[in-house]
Structure 1
Amino acid sequence: MDAPSLNDLGDDAWIEAGQTVSSPDELREYIAHLRTTAQHMRTGLLRAASGALQGQAWNDMRFEEKPLLERDIPAAFNMTVTPSGTMAKDAVYRQSIGTLLAALDAVDQATLTAWLAQVNAADPDRKA
């Protein structure tokens, strides 16, 4: 089975959907979809980065070879402390992937905060 083409996602889908929002409930739904999409992007990037790092695609790895904890993969792309022998060009590339992963984490946190803000505005005493 071939991987879906990333070109089929449509460049303007988010713009078209965003310009139809006309209520707080629709905005909440839009933000929820944004959060889900960002989480899917993060998982895809983690697996792509793992494949690039190990020289073997995620789908081609045996189950036992796949990192069981995806939270360990981003550490390989954090160049705060550059491993001995790492070339600068590799460190910069890895750091950029790490930054992309951090940005997707930030989207996740921001969308959660937006949801909590809307819940709080509707009912400040409701339990989150």
Structure 2
Amino acid sequence: MTDDTWVERGHEISTTADLREYVAEIRAEVSHMQTGLQRAAYGAFTGRSWLDAPEGELPADIVGEHLEMTVTPAGMTARDAVYRQSLAALVVALDAVDRATLTAWLADINAREPDRPA
């Protein structure tokens, strides 16, 4: 059984106010997914959970520090390389959705009040 909550919610949108609320909900959900995935990836690649990490050791950029690879490190198996690159792509895709929802929010503000400070 699949959960079509987002699809069903989309069927109910009939005003721009509804659309603004929907986009805001998507942005919040994506932010939670992105944070959770980054913390889980940190735990998987360091061998300790995010909560157990020593102070000052938490990465500012999990993709850049643990996932993204332009060259596969010596000795890394193809399986590990594909896994890391897949996780990096997923985190980047979630970031793209976050940026798209911000753009939709700014477009809405611009349509209503073009001279309003963003």
CA separation in 2, counterparts of 1:18 and 1:66? 41
Residue matched to 1:67:
58
CA separation in 2, counterparts of 1:113 and 1:91? 33
Give the aligned CA root-mean-square deviation in angstroms.
Answer: 1.7
With the length of structure 1 as denominator, give the TM-score of the two structures: 0.82
CA separation in 1, counterparts of 2:87 and 2:41? 8
Tell me by how many angstroms 1:126 deviates: 1.5
CA separation in 2, counterparts of 1:51 and 1:35? 24
Amino acid aligned to 2:43: G
Point out where structure 1 has 5 or more consecutive residues left out of the alignment: 1-9
Aligned ranges 1:49-60 → 2 under 5 Å: 49-59=41-51
Is the CA contact (8 Å cut-off) linking 1:58 and 1:66 kept in structure 2? no
CA separation in 1, counterparts of 2:96 and 2:116? 25
Point out where structure 2 has 5 or more consecutive residues left out of the alignment: none
Residue matched to 2:67:
77
1:19 matched to 2:11? The reply is yes
Percent identical among aligned pairs is: 53
Tell me by how many angstroms 1:11 deviates: 1.3
User: Following TM superposition, where does structure 1 have runs of at least 4 consecutive aligned residues deviating by more than 4 angstroms?
Assistant: none
Tell me by how many angstroms 1:57 deviates: 2.8
Residue matched to 2:114:
124
1:90 matched to 2:96? The reply is no
CA separation in 2, counterparts of 1:97 and 1:106? 14
Residue 102 and residue 62 in structure 1: after superposition, are their counterparts in 2 closer, same or farther (change >3 A)?
closer
1:109 matched to 2:99? The reply is yes
The 10-residue stretch of structure 1 (115-124 or 92-101) with the greater mean CA deviation from structure 2: 115-124
